[in-house]
Structure 1
Amino acid sequence: MSTPLDRPEYAASGPVPGGRPGRKLGPIADSVGSSHRAWLEPTRTSYLASGLTLADLSTRVPLAKSKLSELMRGIGLYPRWELIAGIAVILDMPVWPLQRLWRQAALDAQKTREWIERSSGKHPVTTSALIPPLEHGAFRETVEDAYRLYAQAFLPDGPRDTSVADTFDILWLSWNGALASPDMRSYAWNILRATVMAKTPHLDGRPELGTAAFDTVVLRALTYDADRMTQVTESLQLFKALTRLPDLQLDVMVLRRLYGFTPEETSALLGLPKPMVQSSERYAERFLESVFTPAPETEGPTE
């Protein structure tokens, strides 16, 4: 399963943790869901970048080292907010986005609202947003509408909006890593893609485009020959073929052909050079053309 920070789909980098004494922190358990990973991965990244050991952390929060290890791997009971808030303070993490992601994951874990409020202890769940870094706010204002369009190609309105909101919360939590990366735009896009894909239904390992994307495909017909594309869209072959594209080519085609972004706009959103965007589009078009090239006609039997 792809995740926003640990296993990006293509070209991104975050902070590289240094070495530390003691046993190496194990990976996140495979059973951990996407909403839990949304806050756990940035927390792990902040911990690994802090230079602290689990023993160091254990002296500052009321939890044994073994239990902290389980928490950092997503093993055991879902953690109380009071504990996560204490860790956030030690790791100098922004509390508001962490709170929102923690709360959403708690609801997904079938925790009641009463449990959520009770588990907050002296650190109640905040309902009013704090101000993110100015650069984060400016970046969000620039790309949010485009991010929502991309998510809309795969998800209905509710999950679409949640995915976009989660993307910016995760980006806020990992802001230092974003600034230290070779290209913040690519770093942010990888978070968006992984967050959207975590909520997108998959068939045979490939994401399924949603109803909104299908409506757009029919309307735009990907600019191919109108008569042939009418037959293709009616049979849904093109719709299915798009999902067979490699990740980058699929993203480029969603932005370029479904929503009409220019190569320059697509390059800026993905944080990739314009020639790479154009090359990806050409390869995708060749694949689609190979899929829909009609077989040569053969003469029927003669009497």
Structure 2
Amino acid sequence: MPFESQVPAPQPAHARPGRKLGPIADTVGSSHRAWLEHARDSYLASGLTLNELGLRVLLAKSKLSELLRGLGRYPRWEVIHRLSVELKMPVSPLYRLWRQAALDAQKTYEWVQRSSDKAALATPHSHPPVAHEPFRRTVEGDYRRYAQAFLTDASRDAAVDDTFDILWLSWNSALASPDIRRYAWKILRATVMAKTPHLDGRPELGSAVFDTVAISRLTGLAERAEQMTESLCLFRAIGRLPDNLQDVMVLRHLCGNTVEKTSALLGVPPPTVRSDERHAVRVIFPPPESEGPIE
């Protein structure tokens, strides 16, 4: 199986003395959370206490705790860079995710530049793991087509780029997972959904109607309007499906992938894809109720 995991799962870190690190604050945005979760994981795996790590990154224990929970002001890159060095986190993907989260937090480009100028001089360019780039080349086009069903072009590209940066940060965990393809797909879906407009808690696929093959082949305005109305209803129905059924329908019917290609992208067996597709079709187009015996 391509990209099959090759290393055993990491052992849990030994319990450390002191107060347990609190959870990430509910107010933390999705782009901030994307890199913060991996910084926390790296800290928990390091075996260091907050006090020990704070001494190394020149940050008070209370401020370090706030940083790792997403409390207070958004942190400057100089601090995150020192943290990445001590926790042995790859700098390049971490910086890109930190920068995007800073902009999402309404920080200006000037603030981002001032915050990272000094650290940038001492930051060597890091290279992704050997298997990361071949994997990216294999799936990137399909990831962009999936994201296109939910997002505008700019948001689509940002979501896919963030996906591969998050995958780089968590590459060891990906290798230890049962299937790298499934692990990476979960990152993609979470990243795309975080950027997707939602209605009543479910993602909207409305923008995808303009990219369907059926509409592009229609020339008459009346035909286009009729088809668009039908497609919008269909997309709303797909948006209400459970996650696994929704992904199969998007990949199969909006992206035009075969069962085998969909299976490879999701990291699930082909029979699972066929079963999910059948189930989704029954949900979207329920069979008519039986009229019962005629008296």
Q: Do they fold alike, i.e. is TM over 0.5?
A: yes
Contact 1:15 1:45 in 2 (8 A): no
| In the alignment, structure 1 residue 277 sits paired with structure 2 residue 260 | no
Contact 1:185 1:268 in 2 (8 A): yes
RMSD: 2.7
Q: 1:112 to 1:233 in 2, by over 3 A?
A: closer
Task: State TM-score, norm by structure 2.
Answer: 0.85
| In the alignment, structure 1 residue 165 sits paired with structure 2 residue 157 | no
Name the CA distance, whole Å, in 2 between partners of 1:127 and 1:206.
41
Name the CA distance, whole Å, in 2 between partners of 1:285 and 1:127.
51
| Deviation of the 1:130 alpha carbon | 3.9
Q: 1:240 to 1:151 in 2, by over 3 A?
A: same
Name the CA distance, whole Å, in 2 between partners of 1:107 and 1:79.
12
| Deviation of the 1:122 alpha carbon | 2.9
CA offset digits 1:7-47 (Å, max 9, x no partner)? xxxxxxx8674332222211111111111112111111111
Name the CA distance, whole Å, in 1 between partners of 2:154 and 2:234.
26
Name the CA distance, whole Å, in 2 between partners of 1:81 and 1:164.
23
CA offset digits 1:173-212 (Å, max 9, x no partner)? 1111111111111111011000000000000000001423
| Match of residue 5 from structure 2 | none
| Deviation of the 1:275 alpha carbon | 1.6
Contact 1:117 1:125 in 2 (8 A): no
In the alignment, structure 1 segments of 5+ residues that lack a partner are 1-13, 221-229, 297-303
| Match of residue 237 from structure 1 | 233
Q: Looking at both structures, which has the greater relative contact order when contacts are Cα pairs under 8 Å and sequence separation is at least 6?
A: 1
Contact 1:263 1:274 in 2 (8 A): yes
**Residue of 248, 252, 255 corresponding to 1:252:** 248
CA offset digits 1:144-185 (Å, max 9, x no partner)? 000000000000100000000000001101111111111111
Task: State TM-score, norm by structure 1.
Answer: 0.83
| Deviation of the 1:125 alpha carbon | 7.8
Name the CA distance, whole Å, in 1 between partners of 2:181 and 2:253.
21
| In the alignment, structure 1 residue 124 sits paired with structure 2 residue 127 | no
| Match of residue 6 from structure 2 | none
- Paired positions, count: 275
**Residue of 279, 282, 286 corresponding to 1:286:** 282
| Match of residue 187 from structure 1 | 183
Contact 1:213 1:258 in 2 (8 A): no
In the alignment, structure 2 segments of 5+ residues that lack a partner are 1-8, 217-225
| Match of residue 264 from structure 2 | 268
